Amino acid sequence: MDEQSLPPQQRRTFLLLMIAGVSAALAAAAAWPVWRFLAPSSDDGAAAKVPVARTSVEVGSAFFFNFRGRPAVVLQPTPGKFSAFSAVCTHLGCIVKWVPEKGEFLCPCHAGRFSTEGAVLGGPPPQPLESLPVTLADDQLLIG
């Protein structure tokens, strides 16, 4: 018998340790996206208010932008009246689209419909769109 071969017990221990290590690495790789989804994002206040040029939002149109790392939209339904919302549908998290012909937001995933005030008009969404405060500062809208 070769002097360099390991006894069966040491080989078994080595294999079990290798399987445990690979399993732990795979579990961590699978758990990381779930943790990022469930963990709240850190809000350090660095981008507490997002400036949007007032000229970017025409009457009857919507302007999409990022607010704290998530899609948001500002709307001018009538002259001088601005409202801002999270653009994330409250049903399954799809991004809503503005339909100017109907004057409403539409979720392309399951046909959820929202009014210009963010209220649910139809479809499966359980709650209205999250409203964001809008203030006017000269020629800019400050959202947040």
Which residue type sits at 59? V
Q: How far is CA 77 from CA 95, 108, 123, in A?
A: 20, 21, 22
Tokens of residue 128, six digits: 């209205």
Q: Which CATH superfamily is domain 50-143 in?
A: Rieske [2Fe-2S] iron-sulphur domain (2.102.10.10)
β-partners of residue 132 are 84
Specify the length of the chain in residues.
Answer: 144
What pLDDT shows up at residue 109?
Answer: 85
Q: pLDDT tens, position by position, for the chain (144 residues)?
A: 556 777 888 889 999 999 999 999 999 999 888 877 777 565 555 457 888 888 888 888 889 988 888 899 999 888 888 899 999 988 888 889 999 898 899 998 888 999 888 899 988 888 999 999 988 888 888 888
What are the sequence ranges of the domains in the chain?
7-39, 50-143
Would you say 49 and 38 are in contact if contact means Cβ atoms under 8 Å apart? no
What pLDDT shows up at residue 70?
Answer: 87
